[in-house]
């Protein structure tokens, strides 16, 4: 079956611009999470979505936002880009459902979108 | 923020040898997972061990978990060149906070 698909693979943006990244989860996975990976901070949790609802958000400013559609596809948006937003952005989907006792599932990650802000 | 630390940060061994990586974490967990990442690409899920389990095997992988010491280890036996990658442990606290990752161990297998 198809894996997690992230588009685009690479992006170069200028400071102050905004960007939208897309993620298509594995069919049947309703949980979608986003992570930011940088050499300095490592892998950091951005958001988790389940059934079109944001369940939680990591310690990131309001410039970072996201949403999930009825088909479980998700997008994240970063507005007013800063140089420090340059990173690999990873999306992951899972069968995991917090609060429903179905927690012991791993995550399938996409290949990521590498964003460079210049 | 990072949950814990992997040890060592980098490890270089000969092909065929065993590789052991350790992970420590700080808070209570529902499960702990190990992932592999090749050259800045996406992460690949390797194995999940629940908080009430002490040891788990999958092929050449063996994972242990000691919740009293808040630590885990990943053993890769009979290493191959294709095992060269970064390995991350990640904890699942059971809520909606996603996974909390360590900084990773970079493993190099010398042919």
Residue B2: its pLDDT value, please? 47
Q: Hey, are the CB atoms on B94 and A98 less than 8 Å from each other? A: yes
Distance CA A20, CA B22 (A): 37
Residue B1: its pLDDT value, please? 43
Tell me whether B68 touches chain A (CB under 8 Å). no
Mean pLDDT value of segment B40-55: 94
pLDDT digit string, tens, across residues B77-104 = 999 999 999 999 999 988 878 899 999 9
Residue B76: its pLDDT value, please? 98
Q: Hey, are the CB atoms on A106 and B33 less than 8 Å from each other? A: yes
Mean pLDDT value of segment B58-79: 97
Q: Which of A43, A45, A94 to mutate to test the interface with B (most CBs of B within 10 A)?
A: A43
Between B27 and B18, the more confident residue is B18
B23 contacts: CB under 8 Å, gap ≥ 6: B4, B5, B6, B7, B32, B34, B71, B72, B73, B74, B89, B102
pLDDT above 90 (res B49)? yes
Mean pLDDT value of segment B50-58: 97
Residue B4: its pLDDT value, please? 64
Tell how far CA A11 is from the center of its chain.
Answer: 15
Residue B69: its pLDDT value, please? 96
Taking only residues 17 to 76 of chain A, the set having a beta carbon closer than 8 angstroms to any beta carbon of chain B reads: 33, 35, 37, 42-48, 50, 55-56, 58-59
Angle at B100 between CA A102 and CA A32, to 5 degrees: 50
Q: Hey, are the CB atoms on B101 and A55 less than 8 Å from each other? A: no
* Segment-wise mean pLDDT, segments of 10 residues, chain A, 118 residues: 92 98 96 95 94 92 97 97 98 83 87 97
Taking only residues 80 to 109 of chain B, the set having a beta carbon closer than 8 angstroms to any beta carbon of chain A reads: 88, 90, 92, 94-104
Q: CA A112 → CA A35, A39, A74, B46, distances in Å?
A: 9, 15, 13, 18
Q: CA B51 → CA A10, A45, B34, B77, distances in Å?
A: 38, 21, 14, 23
Residue B20: its pLDDT value, please? 97
Collect all residues of chain B within an 8 Å Cβ-Cβ radius of residue A58: 97-98
Q: What percent of chain B lies above the pLDDT cut of 90?
A: 83
């Amino acid at each position: 079956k198809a894996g997690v698909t992230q588009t685009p693979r690479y992006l170069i943006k200028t400071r102050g611009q905004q960007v939208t990244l897309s993620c298509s989860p594995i069919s049947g996975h309703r949980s979608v999470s986003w992570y930011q990976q940088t050499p300095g901070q490592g892998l950091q949790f951005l958001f988790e979505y389940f059934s079109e609802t944001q369940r939680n958000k990591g310690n990131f400013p309001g410039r970072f936002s996201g949403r999930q559609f009825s088909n479980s596809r998700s997008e994240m948006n970063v507005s007013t880009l800063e140089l420090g937003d340059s990173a690999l952005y990873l999306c992951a989907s899972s069968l995991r459902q917090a609060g429903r006792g179905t927690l012991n599932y791993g995550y399938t990650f996409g290949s990521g979108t590498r964003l460079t802000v210049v | 923020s990072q949950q814990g630390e992997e040890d060592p940060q980098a490890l270089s061994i000969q092909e065929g040898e065993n590789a052991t990586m350790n992970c420590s974490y700080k808070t209570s967990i529902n499960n702990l997972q190990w992932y592999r990442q090749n050259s800045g690409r996406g992460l690949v899920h390797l194995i999940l061990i629940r908080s009430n389990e002490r040891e788990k095997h999958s092929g050449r992988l063996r994972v242990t978990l000691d919740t009293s010491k808040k630590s885990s280890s990943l053993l890769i036996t009979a290493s191959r060149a294709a095992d060269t990658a970064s390995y991350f442990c990640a904890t699942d606290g059971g809520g909606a906070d996603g996974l909390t990752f360590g900084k990773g161990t970079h493993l190099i297998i010398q042919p």
